[in-house]
C-alpha cells in the first residue's frame, strides 16, 4: 500500500477504503458487470472526510473519479488504473423535512427513491423522477443535471436545487446551503456544480425544493396516426389542462411493438398498429374536477381528430402498468443486444425527419440493425436505442458519426440528460461553440488547476492523447 493510500486510510478508517478484489469486483459503468480498474475506492462518511481526502490527493497530484449510483450512460464514472475512486455511498444522511418552507437537506449518497418516500411521508412531492430512481443518487442527479419524466412541468434537476455544499479539488469546502427560492446576492455558485459531472467539485450535501403533493393524478395512453399531429396534440392538452400537464411521453411504433407485441410482458392496452403512442399525465388539486377536465380534453382531441384511440388508467395499478411499458429499459436492452443508447434534444418539428434520416443511414450500412425511439417529446428530448450487432470501437464510432452529424446539421443537442462523460466528449463541438468550450476550460482551470477531478470527462485533459 503506497503512502498516499495509508494517509487516506487514516482519514476514512479501514471500513472507508476498498482495495484489490474489492475494487475489481465492482463496476464503474451501467449495466454493472464488474471490472473497475481504480487502484482504490475511497468511501468517506462526511463532508469533512471528503475534504481531507481531496487535500491529500491534490497535494499528491492524484486523479479522483467520483461515484454515485452508477446509472449514467456516458462513461462519466469510468476509472483507470492510476485513478482513485471516491464513492459517496456511505453519505446517506437526511435532515427532517421543513414542511413550511417545503425543503429537505440531504447528503449526496441518498437514493432518489428514498427522497420520494420521505417527501411523500410529509405530504409533499419531490418532482424529479426517472427509471433508475431506486439506484441513482441525488449527488449524481445534481452532477448530471438529471431530467426525467416530469421536466415539462417542474423542470430539470437544476430547478429542484436551492443550495449545495461542495468540496473543491484542493479540499476547500464551499457551503452554500441556501434555503430560499429568491437569492440575488452575487453569483449563484451552486450552478457551477450542477451539471458539471464532478469536474469542478464534489457535491456532498444539497437543499432540495419540495412541492405540494398533488391530490389527483390522471393518466392515459393514446394512439396518434401522424407525426404532424403530435405537436398539435401537445399544445391542445397543455392549454386544456391549465398548466397541470406533467408528462408527455411519446413512443414510436418500433418501441411500443417491441415491448408490447413482441415482448408480451405488458398486455396490450392499445393495438400495436399505430405509428405513435403518447403516455400523458396530469396532476392537480381536485380529484373529480381534474378527472372531468382530463377526460374532456381527450374527448376534444378525438373530435379534432388529433388522436385515434385511448385508454385511461382507472386505478393506481393501471397507471403503474402503463408506465411500466415506458420504463422497461431492461426489456429494450435484452432485445437489442448489444445496445447503443443515445439521448438527444432538438426541435419537435425536426424530430421525425431526423429519425427517418438516421434509420435510413443505419439500415444502409447495417441491414440487420434495429432501432427504437421514445422519450420526453414534451420537452424536446428523445432517446434512440439501437443495435448493429457489435460493440467494436470502429462500429460504435461509425454509429455515433451518423447520430451526431445529422443532429449537428439541425442545431440539436448531443446530450439532453446524461451529460458528456467520456463517450460524448469528441462530439461536444456539435452542440457547443469553440468560444463556449474555451470558457468551460477556463472555469475548469480556475477551480481545478491540477486537473485531478474526473480527468478526461467532458473534454480531454492535457495528458490525454488525441482521439
Bridge partners, 164 (sequence order): 176, 206
Tens digit of each residue's pLDDT (9 = 90 or more) over 396-424:
999 999 999 999 999 999 999 889 999 99
pLDDT value for 464:
56
Place of cell 426489456: 331
**Tally of residues, the chain:** 467
Instruction: Quote the CA–CA distance of 467 and 463 in Å, as a whole number.
Output: 12
- CATH fold, domain 216-329, is Alpha-Beta Plaits (3.30.70)
Task: Render 207-242 in DSSP notation, one character per residue.
Answer: EEE-EEPPSEEEEEEEEES-THHHHHHHHHHHHHTT
Q: Mean per-residue pLDDT for 83-88? A: 97
Q: Which spans in 172-314 are helix H?
A: 190-193, 228-240, 253-256, 287-303
Give rounded-to-5 percent helix, strand, coil for the chain. 35, 20, 40
Q: 369 with 387: CB under 8 angstroms? A: yes
The answer to whether domain 216-329 and domain 336-430 are alike in fold is: yes
Per-domain residue ranges of the chain: 3-87, 103-212, 216-329, 336-430
Q: What is the CATH number of domain 3-87?
A: 3.30.43.10
Residue 157 parent element (H or E): none
pLDDT value for 465:
43
Instruction: Quote the CA–CA distance of 66 and 222 in Å, as a whole number.
Output: 41
Q: Mean per-residue pLDDT for 435-447? A: 97
Instruction: Quote the CA–CA distance of 381 and 416 in Å, as a whole number.
Output: 6
pLDDT above 60 for 467 = no
237 CB burial (10 A radius; 0-12, 13-18, 19+): buried
Instruction: Quote the CA–CA distance of 67 and 457 in Å, as a whole number.
Output: 13
- CATH fold, domain 336-430, is Alpha-Beta Plaits (3.30.70)
Give me the chain's average pLDDT, please.
94
pLDDT above 80 for 352 = yes
**What percentage of residues in the chain have a pLDDT greater than 70?**
99
pLDDT value for 156:
95
Q: Which of 214, 210, 211 is nearest to 286 (CA)?
A: 214
Domain 103-212: CATH architecture, name and number where available: 2-Layer Sandwich (3.30)
Q: Mean per-residue pLDDT for 129-157? A: 93
Tens digit of each residue's pLDDT (9 = 90 or more) over 152-195:
999 999 999 999 999 999 999 999 999 999 999 999 999 999 99
Residue 282 phi/psi, 5° resolution?
Answer: -130, 135
Amino acid at each position: 500500500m503506497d503512502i498516499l493510500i495509508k494517509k487516506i486510510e487514516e482519514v476514512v478508517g479501514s471500513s472507508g477504503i476498498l482495495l484489490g478484489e474489492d475494487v475489481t469486483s465492482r463496476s464503474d459503468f451501467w449495466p454493472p458487470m464488474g471490472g473497475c480498474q481504480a487502484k482504490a475506492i475511497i468511501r468517506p462518511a462526511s463532508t469533512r472526510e471528503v475534504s481531507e481526502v481531496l487535500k491529500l490527493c491534490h497535494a499528491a497530484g492524484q486523479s479522483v473519479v467520483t461515484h454515485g449510483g452508477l446509472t449514467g450512460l456516458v462513461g462519466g464514472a469510468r476509472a483507470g488504473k492510476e485513478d482513485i475512486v471516491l464513492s459517496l455511498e456511505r453519505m446517506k444522511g437526511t435532515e427532517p423535512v421543513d414542511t413550511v418552507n417545503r425543503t429537505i437537506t440531504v447528503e449526496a449518497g441518498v437514493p432518489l427513491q428514498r427522497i420520494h418516500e420521505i417527501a411523500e411521508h410529509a405530504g409533499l412531492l419531490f418532482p424529479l423522477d426517472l427509471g433508475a430512481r431506486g439506484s441513482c443518487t441525488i449527488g449524481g442527479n445534481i452532477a448530471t443535471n438529471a431530467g426525467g419524466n416530469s421536466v415539462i412541468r417542474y423542470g430539470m434537476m437544476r430547478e429542484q436545487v436551492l443550495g449545495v455544499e461542495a468540496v473543491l479539488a484542493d479540499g476547500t469546502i464551499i457551503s452554500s446551503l441556501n434555503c430560499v427560492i429568491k437569492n440575488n446576492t452575487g453569483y449563484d455558485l451552486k450552478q457551477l456544480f450542477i451539471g458539471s459531472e464532478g469536474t469542478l467539485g464534489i457535491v456532498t450535501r444539497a437543499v432540495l425544493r419540495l412541492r405540494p403533493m398533488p391530490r389527483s393524478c390522471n393518466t392515459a395512453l393514446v394512439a396518434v396516426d401522424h407525426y404532424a399531429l403530435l405537436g398539435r396534440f401537445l399544445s391542445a392538452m397543455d392549454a386544456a389542462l391549465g398548466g397541470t400537464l406533467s408528462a408527455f411521453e411519446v413512443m414510436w411504433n418500433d418501441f411500443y411493438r417491441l415491448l408490447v407485441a413482441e415482448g408480451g410482458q405488458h398486455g396490450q392496452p392499445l393495438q400495436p398498429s399505430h405509428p405513435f403512442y403518447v403516455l400523458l399525465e396530469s396532476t392537480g388539486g381536485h380529484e373529480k374536477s381534474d378527472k372531468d377536465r382530463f377526460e374532456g380534453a381527450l374527448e376534444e382531441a378525438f373530435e379534432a381528430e388529433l388522436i385515434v384511440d385511448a385508454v385511461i388508467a382507472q386505478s393506481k395499478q393501471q397507471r403503474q402498468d402503463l408506465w411500466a411499458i415506458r420504463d422497461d429499459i431492461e426489456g429494450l436492452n435484452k432485445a437489442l443486444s448489444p445496445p447503443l443508447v443515445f439521448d438527444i434534444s432538438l426541435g419537435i418539428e425536426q424530430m421525425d425527419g431526423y429519425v427517418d434520416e438516421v434509420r435510413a443511414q443505419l439500415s444502409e450500412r447495417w441491414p440487420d440493425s434495429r432501432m427504437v425511439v421514445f422519450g420526453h417529446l414534451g420537452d424536446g428530448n428523445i432517446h434512440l436505442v439501437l443495435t448493429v450487432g457489435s460493440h467494436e470501437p470502429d462500429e460504435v464510432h461509425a454509429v455515433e458519426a451518423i447520430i451526431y452529424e445529422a443532429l449537428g446539421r439541425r442545431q440539436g443537442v448531443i446530450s439532453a440528460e446524461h451529460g458528456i462523460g467520456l463517450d460524448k466528449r469528441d462530439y461536444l463541438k456539435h452542440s457547443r461553440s469553440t468560444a463556449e468550450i474555451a470558457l468551460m476550460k477556463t472555469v475548469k482551470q480556475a477551480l481545478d488547476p491540477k486537473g485531478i477531478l474526473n480527468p478526461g470527462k467532458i473534454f480531454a485533459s492535457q495528458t490525454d492523447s488525441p482521439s
